[in-house]
C-alpha cells in the first residue's frame, strides 16, 4: 500500500540526463543539416531565376537606376528589430520597381539590395548569398502576384494597381516571415511561436510601405522624375520616425533588463540571508534538543533517533524533501518533548510508577510544548505535531481525543517511530526488546493506536531500520565510560 501511494505521489522516473542530452544533440544536428539544404536551395534557385529573367529586362533605364540607387541607399541604413529582423523604407522603392519593371527588374536589384548592408566587409559568406537568393525568389513571387492583377509599367493609374500592390505586399511579407522564421528556428532552436511573433510585429509596416510604393509610382506617372524626388521626402520622414520609435523602445527594454538584473541580484542576496537564517534556526533547535537530553539522561539521543525514523517514513509515503510539510515534521519530531520543560523534575525523573495526579500533570506536556512554540511563526507547523503526538488512531489518545485523519499526518507517524525506538532502547528499569518484538507490537496496535497506512510504510522500510539501528545508537548514545 505504501509503495503504491509513493508511486502515485512521485510519478514515473525521468529519463537519465545522458539520454536527454543525446536526443538534444541529434535534434541539433538534424536542424543544422536541414538548414544547410534550405540555404543551398535558396542560393541555387535565386541564381538560376536571376540568370533566366535578367536578359528579359526592359523599360526606362534611367528610372530603374534612380529607383535602384535609392533602394540601395535605404538598405544601407536599416532599422534593427529584435536583432534578427531588419526593416527599412527600401520596400517603397522595391514596390515601385515591381510596378514598373516586373520580375526581371526586381530580380536584378534584389541581390544588390540584400548585400547592400555588407558593403565594406572583407568577405561574403554563404549566409549572405542565402539572403541574396532568398530576396530574388521572394521579390519575383511578389512581382508575379502583382502582374496577376495589374499591368507592369503602366502609363495611367487604375484600381487594378491597388489590388496588385496588395497581393504583392501580402506575398512578400508572408514568404519573408515563413523563410526567416524557419531559418531562425533551424539555426538557434528558438521556439517557433516566439520567432513568429517577432515577424508579425512588422506586418503593418510592410502594408504601409507597400501603399507608399504605389503612391511613388503614381507620382512618377503624374509628374515624372520630379515626382520621384519630391515623394522621397515623406518616405525619409517615415524612416526617421520609425528609427526614433525603435530606439526609444530599445532604450526602455535596456532599462527593464537593468532592473531585472538588479532584482536578480537582490533575490540572490535574499536567498543567502534566508539560508543563513535557516542555519541559525537549526542551530537553535539543536541546542534546545541537547538541553532536553541533558535534563533526562535516561532517554538521551531519543529525539535524534525518532527524527531519523520519522523522516524515513515521511519519505516512504511521498512527502517531498525540503517542503514545508517535511520541515515541520522534522522539527516536530526533534522537539516533541519540549513541553516536559514545564513538568517538575520530581515527576519527570521519578524512578517508580507515577500516581494518578502525577500522571495528569505529565499528560499536559503536549499542550505546554504547543503553547511554547505556537508563538514562533516558523515553528507553528511543528507545534501542531507536538500537540497531537500522543493522540491515537481510535480516538483514545490525549489531549484532544482526536480520531483518524483528524490527527495531523506528522502526529500519526510519530507514535509508530516513538514506539519502535522506545522498545528497542535500554532503560534503567528494563532492557531493550528485540526489533522483532517491536514490529509485532506495532502490528498488533495497527488500526487502534496507530494509523494503518503509517504501519504499512513502516513495514516497507523495517529491514532498513534494523540494519541502521546500531549505527543510529552509536551516533546518538553517549560513549561507554
286 and 237 share one domain: no
Number of domains, the chain: 2
Angle of helix 159-188 relative to helix 90-115, nearest 10 degrees? 40
Angstrom distance (rounded) from CA 200 to CA 342: 71
Query: CB 302: neighbour CB atoms within 10 A?
Result: 21
Three-class DSSP category at 80: strand
Q: 74: buried, middle or exposed (CB in 10 Å: 19+, 13-18, 0-12)?
A: buried
Residues 6+ apart with CB under 8 A from 435: 420, 424, 462, 465, 466, 469
Return the percentage of the chain with pLDDT > 90, whole number.
29
Angstrom distance (rounded) from CA 419 to CA 55: 98
Residue 87 in grid coordinates? 526593416
Q: What is the predicted pLDDT for the residue at 268? A: 83
Q: Which residue has the higher pLDDT, 7 or 450?
A: 450
In a domain, 66, yes or no: yes
The angle subtended at Cα 243 by Cα 190 and Cα 184, nearest 5°, is 15
Give the CATH number for residue 215: 1.10.1760.20
79 and 146 share one domain: yes
Give the CATH number for residue 435: 1.10.3210.10
pLDDT tens digit sequence for 412-441: 999 999 999 888 887 666 788 888 898 999
pLDDT tens digit sequence for 11-28: 334 444 444 444 555 577
In a domain, 212, yes or no: yes
122 and 185 share one domain: yes
Asked if 337 and 303 count as a contact pair (C-beta separation under 8 A), the reply is yes
Angle of helix 2-10 relative to helix 452-460, nearest 10 degrees? 90
Asked if 135 and 117 count as a contact pair (C-beta separation under 8 A), the reply is no
In a domain, 266, yes or no: no
283 and 194 share one domain: no
Angstrom distance (rounded) from CA 153 to CA 155: 7
Handedness of CA 381, 385, 386, 388 (dihedral sign): positive
Q: What mean pLDDT do residues 190-214 have? A: 71
Domain that holds residue 470: 279-476
In a domain, 255, yes or no: no
Residue 465 in grid coordinates? 531500520
Q: What is the predicted pLDDT for the residue at 15? A: 41
Residues 6+ apart with CB under 8 A from 78: 86, 87, 88, 90, 117
* φ, ψ at 88 (rounded to 5°): -145, 170
pLDDT tens digit sequence for 82-126: 554 556 678 888 999 999 999 999 999 988 887 776 654 545 566
Q: Is the pLDDT of residue 129 over 60?
A: yes
CA distances from 123 to 118, 127, 135, 433 (A): 9, 11, 19, 86
Handedness of CA 336, 342, 344, 347 (dihedral sign): negative
In a domain, 283, yes or no: yes
Q: What is the predicted pLDDT for the residue at 320? A: 92
Angle of helix 302-316 relative to helix 324-334, nearest 10 degrees? 150
What pairs with residue 450 in β-bridges? 446
Q: What DSSP assignment string belongs to 410-434?
A: HHHHHHHHHHHHHHTS-BTTBPPPP
Average the pLDDT over each of 32-36, 110-114, 167-171, 268-272 and give the range with the smallest value: 268-272
Rounded to two decimals, what is the model's pTM? 0.46
In a domain, 10, yes or no: no
43 and 114 share one domain: yes
Q: What is the predicted pLDDT for the residue at 322? A: 85
Amino acid at each position: 500500500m505504501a509503495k503504491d501511494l509513493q508511486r502515485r505521489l512521485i510519478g514515473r522516473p525521468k529519463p537519465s540526463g545522458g539520454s536527454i542530452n543525446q536526443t538534444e544533440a541529434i535534434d541539433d544536428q538534424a536542424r543544422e543539416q536541414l538548414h544547410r539544404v534550405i540555404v543551398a536551395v535558396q542560393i541555387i534557385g535565386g541564381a538560376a531565376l536571376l540568370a533566366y529573367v535578367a536578359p528579359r529586362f526592359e523599360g526606362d533605364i534611367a528610372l530603374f537606376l534612380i529607383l535602384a540607387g535609392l533602394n540601395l541607399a535605404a538598405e544601407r541604413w536599416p532599422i534593427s528589430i529584435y536583432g534578427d529582423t531588419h526593416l527599412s523604407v527600401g520596400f517603397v522603392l522595391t514596390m515601385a520597381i515591381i510596378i514598373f519593371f516586373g520580375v526581371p527588374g526586381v530580380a536584378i536589384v534584389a541581390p544588390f539590395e540584400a548585400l547592400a548592408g555588407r558593403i565594406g566587409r572583407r568577405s561574403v559568406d554563404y549566409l549572405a548569398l542565402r539572403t541574396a537568393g532568398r530576396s530574388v525568389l521572394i521579390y519575383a513571387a511578389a512581382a508575379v502576384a502583382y502582374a496577376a492583377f495589374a499591368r507592369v509599367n503602366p502609363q495611367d493609374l487604375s484600381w487594378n494597381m491597388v489590388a496588385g500592390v496588395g497581393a504583392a505586399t501580402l506575398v512578400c511579407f508572408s514568404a519573408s516571415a515563413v523563410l526567416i522564421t524557419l531559418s531562425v528556428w533551424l539555426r538557434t532552436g528558438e521556439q517557433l511561436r516566439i520567432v513568429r511573433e517577432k515577424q508579425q510585429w512588422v506586418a503593418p509596416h510592410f502594408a504601409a510601405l507597400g501603399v507608399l510604393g504605389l503612391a511613388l509610382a503614381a507620382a512618377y506617372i503624374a509628374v515624372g522624375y520630379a515626382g520621384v524626388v519630391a515623394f522621397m521626402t515623406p518616405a525619409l520622414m517615415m524612416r526617421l520616425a520609425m528609427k526614433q520609435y525603435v530606439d526609444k523602445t530599445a532604450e526602455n527594454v535596456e532599462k527593464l533588463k537593468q532592473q531585472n538584473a538588479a532584482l536578480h541580484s537582490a533575490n540572490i542576496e535574499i536567498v543567502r540571508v534566508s539560508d543563513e537564517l535557516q542555519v541559525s534556526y537549526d542551530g537553535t533547535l539543536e541546542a534546545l534538543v541537547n538541553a532536553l537530553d541533558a535534563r533526562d539522561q535516561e532517554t538521551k539521543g531519543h529525539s535524534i533517533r525518532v527524527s531519523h525514523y520519522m523522516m524515513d517514513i515521511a519519505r516512504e509515503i511521498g512527502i517531498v524533501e525540503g517542503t514545508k510539510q517535511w520541515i515541520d515534521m522534522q522539527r516536530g519530531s526533534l522537539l516533541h518533548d519540549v513541553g516536559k520543560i514545564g513538568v517538575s523534575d520530581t515527576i519527570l525523573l521519578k524512578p517508580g510508577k507515577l500516581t494518578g495526579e502525577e500522571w495528569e500533570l505529565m499528560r499536559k506536556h503536549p499542550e505546554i510544548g504547543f503553547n511554547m512554540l505556537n508563538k514562533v511563526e516558523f515553528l507553528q507547523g511543528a507545534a501542531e505535531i507536538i500537540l497531537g503526538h500522543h493522540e491515537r488512531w481510535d480516538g483514545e489518545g490525549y489531549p484532544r481525543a482526536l480520531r483518524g485523519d483528524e490527527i495531523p499526518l506528522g502526529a500519526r507517524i510519530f507514535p509508530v517511530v516513538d514506539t519502535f525506538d522506545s522498545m528497542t532502547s535500554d532503560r534503567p528499569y528494563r532492557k531493550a526488546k528485540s526489533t522483532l518484538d517491536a514490529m509485532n507490537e506495532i502490528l498488533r496496535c495497527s488500526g487502534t493506536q496507530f494509523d494503518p497506512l503509517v504501519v504499512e510504510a513502516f513495514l516497507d522500510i523495517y529491514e532498513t531500520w534494523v540494519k541502521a539501528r546500531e549505527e543510529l545508537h552509536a551516533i546518538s548514545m553517549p560513549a561507554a565510560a
